[in-house]
Amino acid sequence: MMRSAAWHARIACGNEVGAGFLIAGHRVLTCAHVVRWSDRAAVTVSFPHARELGELSATVVAHGGWAGGATDPGDVAVLGLERAVPLAPAGFAPPDAACAEPYPRLIAYGFPEGYDEGTLAEYQAVSAQLIAGEWLELVAWSGHGQPLVAGFSGAAATLPDGTVAGMVTAASDSPDVRKGRMLPLEVMARHWPELGELVPTPGHRGDTRRRLYGLLRRAAADAGRVCDPNRMYVDAVGAFGPPLPPGGFPSLWAAAGYVQWEVPDPEAVSRFADRLDELLDGRTGLRHRTPSDVPGPRDFPGPSGVRGPSGVRGPSGVRGPSG
């Protein structure tokens, strides 16, 4: 529950103050724009429910590719703490939990000016429709209470049971318009694929997910081993499975994430892991298939598991990232 969630974090970098949440003993998720000045200013992380830990220094260890614009995609950063902290990390909700009707209340723990200890804001999703393939739009749960303002960026959007359904990224320019945006889990995982190991996607057992992501880390460490992500995908989904998305996959991580988030057959994850395990152990090569055996891309936009073009613009009235 929220009252025992010590994983909420306050993040400071230069003049920026934002929020974040602990996902492992030494890892914190936040918005990339909160730590935009990390190349010239120190990043510090503190936990208001565990003040005895003090301020910890942190470095950016992963970045979602955010290019600096208000509507640029990939506003995700992973921070590495100077040491692991003895706190239980955040737990994650299943994908689309924020959009299950009736739309649930979402609670964000942020650090606006004057609230170094933090304060809460209550919002809900407007619709399951993504804005520009990236954000869910939020509106205030009620007509009063704390608006989403500077200091909430990077806050976990949590369900009433305390599980994380997304991350707050932006708020309205106007104090009279209580709106904001959040990145849902599937979009966050698109920009930082390792998140997929932590999210309980339907039909996939926890041990299956952990095995898959352990193998992906092994493959990343084995620079001499060549694994074709497109052929890995085809072997996992089979000849009658969903076709390759337009352009294929840029990496094994992208292919694995697509299988986990987009392919309806839950056994495809196990087949992907089995094939990767065989390849890494040198027991077999990938099966040869002729071009006619490989489903080709269809002429439609790729689903949310495939990163789209950057620089798309959202509707007016919503300001870009700021703390």
Q: What is the rounded distance in angstroms from the CA atom of residue 223 to the CA atom of residue 209? A: 22
Q: Which of 75-89, 119-133, 221-235 has the lowest mean pLDDT?
A: 221-235
Higher-scoring residue by pLDDT: 211, 1: 211
CATH for the stretch 97-188: 2.40.10.10
Highest mean pLDDT among 135-139, 168-172, 238-242: 135-139
* pLDDT (mean) for 33-45: 97
pLDDT of 308 reads 34
CATH for the stretch 7-81: 2.40.10.10
pLDDT in tens, 138-184: 998 887 778 888 899 999 999 999 999 999 998 766 666 688 999 99
Question: What b/e string do you get for 241-274 counting C-beta neighbours within 10 Å, with b at 16 or more?
Answer: bbebbeebbeebbbbbbbbbbbbeeeebbbbbbe
State yes or no: cis peptide before 102, omega within 30 of 0. yes
Confidence of residue 61 (pLDDT cuts 50, 70, 90): very high
Structure-block tokens of residue 321: 């990232």
Confidence of residue 100 (pLDDT cuts 50, 70, 90): confident
What single letter denotes the amino acid at residue 27? R
CB contact at 8 A, 103 and 134? no
Q: Which of 4-18, 207-221, 305-319 has the lowest mean pLDDT?
A: 305-319
Highest mean pLDDT among 39-48, 110-119, 300-309: 39-48
* pLDDT (mean) for 223-229: 77
pLDDT at 288 over 70: no
Is there a shared CATH topology between the 7-81 domain and the 97-188 domain? yes
E-strand ranges in 111-228 read: 119-125, 136-140, 156-158, 164-171, 179-184
DSSP, residue by residue, 223-278: TT----HHHHHHHHH-TTSPPPPTT--SSHHHHHHHHHHH-S-THHHHHHHHHHHH
pLDDT at 304 over 50: no
- Report field, pTM of the whole predicted structure over 0.85: no
pLDDT of 314 reads 32
Q: Where are the domains of the chain?
A: 7-81, 97-188, 201-293
pLDDT of 282 reads 79
pLDDT of 318 reads 38
* pLDDT (mean) for 221-238: 86
